[in-house]
């Protein structure tokens, strides 16, 4: 993520956003009236028609982002792990959000400065991760191509929109997913859209949201000093032979542990007995860093929720002709995106999101009543979002849940700039 002055960026023209705001109000009123007239009643699922699917997924297994300090105990990340399985081959082109050239990726440049034992760079997708993503693509193919003829068997840009963070492991993870989803694809290249690091909203943009950066400044280090976390970190470091002075916290430990376990590697024989403790304390650290107040969660994931909400609203807008809205949206994100997303939806299980995990959001319309419903899945399992009476959630209730944390571009930029304005005033 590039440091510098936060640039104002709009995801959609103001007129579109205003009409969408009016539309969601009208839809909520209409749905509320229908429920008031008919009361709560069981929904005949045979009369539901799938209209749209949004899939938010983490990349596949990769090398660690930061190696543990003892070189003699580090595992070997051999470059043979980068071999591409032929089944996952899939041509694609990366553009910015307007169709222009692929933006520069400062994070990839940063990762390439860290060469791990064995020759790999930090954060590289491996063939294990490629297979994981291919398997996710196959699962989506079974659900939306084979079990029901929702998607075309070959990629159709009129049906599918693909967006990823501009980080190579995510772009390559998306490639593998598409190869599993569209194995008969003969035409290409496929376009994967991405944004510049300075305006990215598919991960918490700490570098360019001044208010968010100020909120979490020093909190990661402070988390390791909190009662309980501090004692457990000391115990684990001693058990693994890591010096107390080494800058290793539970997030670094979990990152290495998860990467090693995914590839059947082991740096510390005693690591296995600390597995659950390391994961739980890593989650506790993130929760402490982000805190649990509404505004912090808004700044972390609010703009991305706004994208998901807008896709829903466009799909239900009667002004949009049938067949003119996309059927599938794919978003390649990170664990730091998924955790706050799960929190906002009220389905966080206090476990670290694993490699290749997905949140899938299905939109249905009842063919008789014309009511709209949402079905939410995490890691393939049905979920009941906060504020919803059942797994099949009326759209208005789901939108109410999202609205608590959703931030439109104007509000996001206003909140992000507040701390920057205060800093400038204090400097005068």
Report the interhelical angle of 275-290 vs 250-262 (nearest 10°). 130
Q: Cβ distance 151 to 121 under 8 Å?
A: no
- Say which of 195, 249, 335, 358 is annotated catalytic: 335
Cβ count within 10 A of residue 347: 17
Separation between Cα atoms, residue 39 and residue 32, nearest integer Å: 10
325, 259 Cβ separation under 8 angstroms: no
Closest CA to 263 of 424, 411, 414, 120: 120
> Which residues have CB under 8 Å from 176's CB, separation 6+?
60, 88, 90, 129, 130, 131, 132, 133, 134, 137
Q: Could you tell me if 362 and 375 are in contact, meaning their C-beta atoms sit under 8 angstroms apart? A: yes
Going by C-alpha positions, the residue among 365, 335, 364 that lies closest to residue 351 is: 335
How far apart, in whole angstroms, are the C-alpha atoms of residue 164 and residue 172? 10
User: For the purposes of burial, counting CB atoms within 10 Å of the CB of 82, is it exposed (0-12), middle (13-18) or buried (19 or more)?
Assistant: middle
Q: Is the peptide bond before 189 cis (omega within 30 degrees of 0)?
A: yes
CA distance linking residue 212 with residue 179, whole number of Å: 37
Maximum C-alpha span of the chain = 71
Give 179: exposed, middle or buried? Use CB within 10 Å, 0-12, 13-18, 19+: buried
Residue 383 host element (H or E): strand 381-383
First-to-final CA distance of the chain: 28
Directed axis angle between helix 275-290 and helix 335-345, to 10°?
Answer: 70
Q: Which of 59, 263, 306, 413 is catalytic?
A: 59
Alpha-carbon gap, residue 335 to 88, rounded angstroms: 23
Q: Which two tokens stand for residue 419?
A: 């701390």
Is 38 noted as a catalytic residue in this protein?
A: no
Q: Is 41 among the residues known to form the active site?
A: no
Catalytic residues: 59, 335
């Amino acid at each position: 993520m590039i440091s510098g002055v936060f640039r104002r960026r709009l995801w959609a023209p103001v007129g579109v956003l205003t009409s969408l705001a009016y539309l969601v109000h009208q839809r909520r009123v209409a749905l509320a009236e229908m429920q008031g007239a008919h009361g709560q009643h069981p929904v005949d699922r045979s009369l539901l028609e799938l209209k749209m699917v949004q899939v938010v997924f983490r990349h596949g297994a990769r090398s660690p982002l930061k190696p543990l300090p003892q070189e003699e105990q580090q595992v070997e990340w051999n470059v043979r792990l980068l071999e591409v399985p032929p089944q996952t081959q899939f041509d694609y082109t990366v553009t910015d959000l307007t169709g222009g050239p692929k933006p520069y990726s400062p994070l990839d440049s940063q990762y390439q400065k860290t060469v791990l034992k064995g020759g790999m760079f930090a954060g590289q997708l491996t063939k294990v991760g490629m297979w994981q993503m291919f398997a996710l693509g196959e699962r989506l193919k079974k659900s939306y191509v084979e079990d029901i003829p929702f998607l075309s068997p070959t990629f159709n840009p009129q049906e599918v929109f693909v967006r990823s963070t501009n980080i190579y492991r995510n772009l390559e993870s998306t490639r593998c997913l598409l190869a599993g989803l569209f194995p008969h694809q003969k035409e290409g290249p496929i376009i994967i859209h991405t944004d510049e690091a300075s305006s990215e909203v598919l991960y918490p943009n700490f570098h360019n949201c001044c208010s968010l950066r100020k909120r979490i400044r020093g909190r990661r280090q402070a988390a390791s000093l909190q009662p309980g976390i501090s004692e457990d970190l000391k115990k684990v470091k001693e058990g693994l032979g890591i010096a107390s002075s080494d800058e290793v916290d539970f997030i670094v430990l979990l990152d290495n542990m998860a990467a090693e376990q995914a590839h059947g590697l082991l740096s510390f024989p005693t690591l296995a007995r600390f597995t659950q403790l390391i994961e739980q304390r890593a989650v506790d650290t993130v929760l402490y860093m982000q805190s649990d107040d509404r505004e912090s969660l808004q700044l972390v994931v609010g703009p991305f929720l706004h994208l998901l909400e807008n896709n829903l609203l466009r799909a239900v807008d009667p002004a949009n002709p049938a067949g003119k809205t996309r059927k599938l949206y794919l978003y390649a994100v990170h664990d730091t995106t998924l955790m706050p997303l799960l929190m906002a939806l009220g389905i966080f299980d206090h476990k670290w999101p694993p490699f290749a995990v997905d949140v899938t959001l299905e939109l249905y319309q009842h063919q008789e009543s014309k009511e709209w419903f949402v079905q939410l899945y995490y890691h393939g399992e049905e979920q009941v979002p906060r504020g919803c009476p059942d797994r099949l959630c009326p759209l208005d209730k789901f939108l109410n849940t999202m609205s608590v944390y959703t931030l439109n571009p104007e509000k996001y930029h206003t909140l992000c700039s507040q701390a920057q304005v205060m800093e400038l005033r204090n400097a005068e």
